[in-house]
Amino acid sequence: MSIRSLLEKEKLNHSNFLDWYRNLRIVLKQEKKDYVLEKPVPEEPQTTPKAAHDIWIKHSDDSIDVACLMLATMIPDLQKDLEHREAYDMIAHLKQMFEN
């Protein structure tokens, strides 16, 4: 059984943000990708060592993975509003919408 099944039980809708967000954080913590919700992907480094560029690539790739996971676990009207955002921006927008 995958821990991602926590998110498959109930998609994010207009009334369950806190439960969905808690489950999302559990899944991302287990996958070691929770950091993408806490800080945006920085600009791509131009003249830095390969190690720094590799870190940027990992952050960018993880952000894409998390954004896709988030979108896949939402109802369609939320997907439409958020599909062009990165994971960090998406969660910030959702918090603004639902935590008021």
> Which pLDDT tens digit goes with each residue over 8-61?
888 999 999 999 999 999 999 999 999 999 999 999 888 778 888 899 999 999
Q: Other C-beta atoms within 10 Å of 88: how many?
A: 19
Q: What is the rounded CA–CA span in Å between residue 4 and residue 92? A: 21
Of 93, 92, 39, residue with least CA distance to 62: 39
Q: What is the mean pLDDT of residues 1-11?
A: 83
And the tokens for 76? 């369609």
pLDDT at 100: 65
- Residue 40 phi, psi dihedral angles, 5° rounding: -70, 160
Q: How many residues does the chain have?
A: 100
